[in-house]
Structure 1
Amino acid sequence: MYRWCTDEVEPHDRFDYWREVRAKGLFGVTAELERERRADFFGEFSLRQLGGGGGLVELKASHYTVERSTSDIAYAPGDSICVYQQLGSGGWFGGMRGNDFAIANGSFATSHTDLPYRTAPLGAGGFHLRILKIPVSHIPAQDRRIRELAPKTFNDPALAPLLAACFADLGEAAAGDATSLVQVLAHLALIERGIVRPGSRLGQAALRTARLSQARRLIARHLQNPDLAPAMVADLLGVSVRHLHMLFEAAEKSFSQTVTDERLERSRRLLRETPERLIADIATSCGFESLATYYRVFSAAHGMAPGDFRARGSEGH
């Protein structure tokens, strides 16, 4: 992981350095800001190289404008698709074929790197976004239309939650898992843009992985509910219970094993981090139907009672 911040540069040089070295040199764009506002400029970013040729950037910066012009493209061609996740107050895109558009906080957009555009944050808070960049040469679904993807919001209400789940997983994934997630995200973007068919081999594989990712996140979100069951998650996911079980059959753990392991993991964390909290309260907050059930499941998994586990932790073991 590479991180950089304008605090490493003298205040009067910060925007100029950002514009020439970071914006143009690293991202291949032209950055502009009124001279009288440059003294207050702030910017930071992280760059993580991922398997499958992908790169994940998270960028925060105070307000300025960005352009990827034809000369910028000629100077630094990228031949990649980008998936943008807006995290700040929103952004505006314009200057390309079609209408200008705004992208709201939490929303996504996709594009090919080598088409002109302009962008600026909508709010006073400036930019905050993640950008996943995937070289076209690393995408199995080769299609000339990939290079014609002008920036566009990700509007499919069924696909957007899947993209969000996989994006969240990507930020936490180990190198091997990141490689497959990069491919899944690329294919989800191409499904949304009409280039990969959902029923194709690549489309089905991407949708299966993404739905499993979202199912796991739904489990984590509703873990406290003792009535958490396949029917509930399947309904939230928009699939049948049979389809949900098929997703988990292809994974390392079944649905019930996943729920139990998540509850145990959360309870272990709470036992370590909140030594003053009653074990009965921890059991309830993790979704165990009773204290007796919690003791039985915990002891079977760890060979000791929750209280003994907590005592060992306090002793430094």
Structure 2
Amino acid sequence: MSTARVLSTDGIPQQDTAPAWRDWMAQLFNGLQTDLYGDTRFDGHLYVASAGEVVLTRLDAGRHRVVRDSHRLRDSEEAYLKIVAPWSGTAQVHQNGQQASASNGSWVIYDTSHPYEVANPQHTEHLILMLPRRSIVQRGLNPEGLMGRNIGGSSGIARIALETMRSTYQELGTMSAPLAHRAGELLVEMVHLSLQELAGKGTARTQRQALHDRICAYVATHLRDPGLSVEAIATALNCSKRHVHNGFAGQDTSLGAFIQHSRLQLVMRELRQPELAQHTITDIAMACGFNNSAHFSRAFKAYAGMSPSEFRNR
């Protein structure tokens, strides 16, 4: 088998690269939305190869964010589990109220049959794997509750899985089709074992991780409440504010940033909804938990790279 270069902005006029990339992503991935942080030019390359039912992709591209909304999911689509394993840059995955990031030496996994967002805030080179969800379920493991998580990669089976993913992609060009198919089955087994190990850890997860999950769940269900705060969460969970902050110790973002980013993501999703086109941006922001329009506008521009009105017009 040979690695096929399927997408490249090389040779396209610079002013056309950004819209071309957005169109490609929407066409190839059933309406996947792409945000380029306000950039008007884009440099991207996508190389794809298959190992049986497993699709391996090398993405070499500028900063961007992809979003899959619930209204774009189709019953006819096969559900896939998707893995991002960076060589350079970072990938930040948001799904089911969970958020996880990965950089070189680790990998994250999410389910394409549920809404998700993957942010790549800098130039990235990622190895991306897609494998049928049923291939994991058929092995007796329910992936629910394991998605939107960093699997690791520095030790144990997760490290073996990561090394297998990388070496398989690099050697696919020398493999016959039957051998590539067997290599794909091996990849599925490595992912299955890694998820199985993660599920086992879940039964004995640390109190901090359990607290973090409880906080994320509370935030997800109270995001529209302008009174959502550390104090409110502490009261609801019957613990101190310090204990609540401890639940986010070691995370990539603070609890305050997590709440704000979650609200901004909610606003971005609603600004894309055609049925909300008659609502003002301020009304949508207030309905998503913001209580100050000036603060919202500054926060949105810092997060999305453009004003709310520019984002809606795009």
Q: TM-score, normalised by structure 1?
A: 0.53
Q: Deviations over 1:217-237 (max 9, x none)?
A: xxxxxxxxxxxxxxxxxxxxx
Confirm whether residue 48 of structure 1 aligns to residue 49 of structure 2. yes
Tell me, yes or no, if the aligned pair for 2:100 and 2:108 is still in contact at 8 Å.
no
Distance 1:187 1:77 in 2: 23
Write the letter of the residue equivalent to 2:17.
R
Tell me, yes or no, if the aligned pair for 2:35 and 2:65 is still in contact at 8 Å.
yes
Distance 1:78 1:152 in 2: 21
Task: Give the superposed CA RMSD.
Answer: 2.8
Deviation at 1:79, TM superposition (A): 0.9
Q: 1:187 to 1:197 in 2, by over 3 A?
A: farther
Confirm whether residue 136 of structure 1 aligns to residue 133 of structure 2. yes
Paired residue total: 191
Distance 1:192 1:93 in 2: 18
Stretches of structure 1 lacking an aligned partner (at least 5 in a row): 199-317
Confirm whether residue 16 of structure 1 aligns to residue 14 of structure 2. no
What residue is the counterpart of 2:192 in the other structure? 190
Write the letter of the residue equivalent to 2:157.
L
Q: 1:99 to 1:112 in 2, by over 3 A?
A: closer
Tell me, yes or no, if the aligned pair for 2:98 and 2:148 is still in contact at 8 Å.
no
* Higher mean C-alpha deviation, range 58-67 or range 142-151: 142-151
1:36-185 correspondence runs (5 A): 37-39=39-41, 41-51=42-52, 53-74=53-74, 77-94=77-94, 96-122=95-121, 124=122, 126-138=123-135, 141-143=138-140, 145-146=142-143, 149-155=146-152, 157-171=155-169, 172-173=171-172, 174=175, 175-185=177-187
SS in 1 for 2:156: coil
What residue is the counterpart of 1:204 in the other structure? none
1:30-41 correspondence runs (5 A): 30-35=33-38, 37-39=39-41, 41=42
SS in 1 for 2:126: strand
Does 1 or 2 have the higher relative contact order (CA < 8 Å, sep 6+)?
A: 2
Write the letter of the residue equivalent to 1:46.
Y
Deviation at 1:195, TM superposition (A): 8.3
Deviation at 1:143, TM superposition (A): 4.5
Distance 1:74 1:163 in 2: 30
Structure with the largest fraction of helix? 1
Q: 1:59 to 1:75 in 2, by over 3 A?
A: farther
Tell me, yes or no, if the aligned pair for 1:44 and 1:61 is still in contact at 8 Å.
yes
What residue is the counterpart of 1:308 in the other structure? none
Tell me, yes or no, if the aligned pair for 2:101 and 2:108 is still in contact at 8 Å.
no
Deviation at 1:116, TM superposition (A): 1.4
Tell me, yes or no, if the aligned pair for 1:47 and 1:58 is still in contact at 8 Å.
yes
Deviation at 1:155, TM superposition (A): 2.8
Deviation at 1:48, TM superposition (A): 0.8
SS in 2 for 1:187: helix
Q: Deviations over 1:131-158 (max 9, x none)?
A: 1111235558354724665221113731
Distance 1:116 1:179 in 2: 29
Distance 1:24 1:14 in 2: 14
Deviation at 1:46, TM superposition (A): 0.6
Tell me, yes or no, if the aligned pair for 1:145 and 1:195 is still in contact at 8 Å.
no
1:213-232 correspondence runs (5 A): none
Tell me, yes or no, if the aligned pair for 1:87 and 1:128 is still in contact at 8 Å.
yes
Q: TM-score, normalised by structure 2?
A: 0.54
Tell me, yes or no, if the aligned pair for 1:112 and 1:148 is still in contact at 8 Å.
no
**Share of identical aligned residues, percent?**
18
Write the letter of the residue equivalent to 1:165.
E
Q: 1:155 to 1:144 in 2, by over 3 A?
A: closer
Tell me, yes or no, if the aligned pair for 2:9 and 2:44 is still in contact at 8 Å.
yes
Q: 1:62 to 1:75 in 2, by over 3 A?
A: farther
Structure with greater Cα Rg: 1
Q: 1:188 to 1:155 in 2, by over 3 A?
A: same
Distance 2:134 2:96 in 1: 24
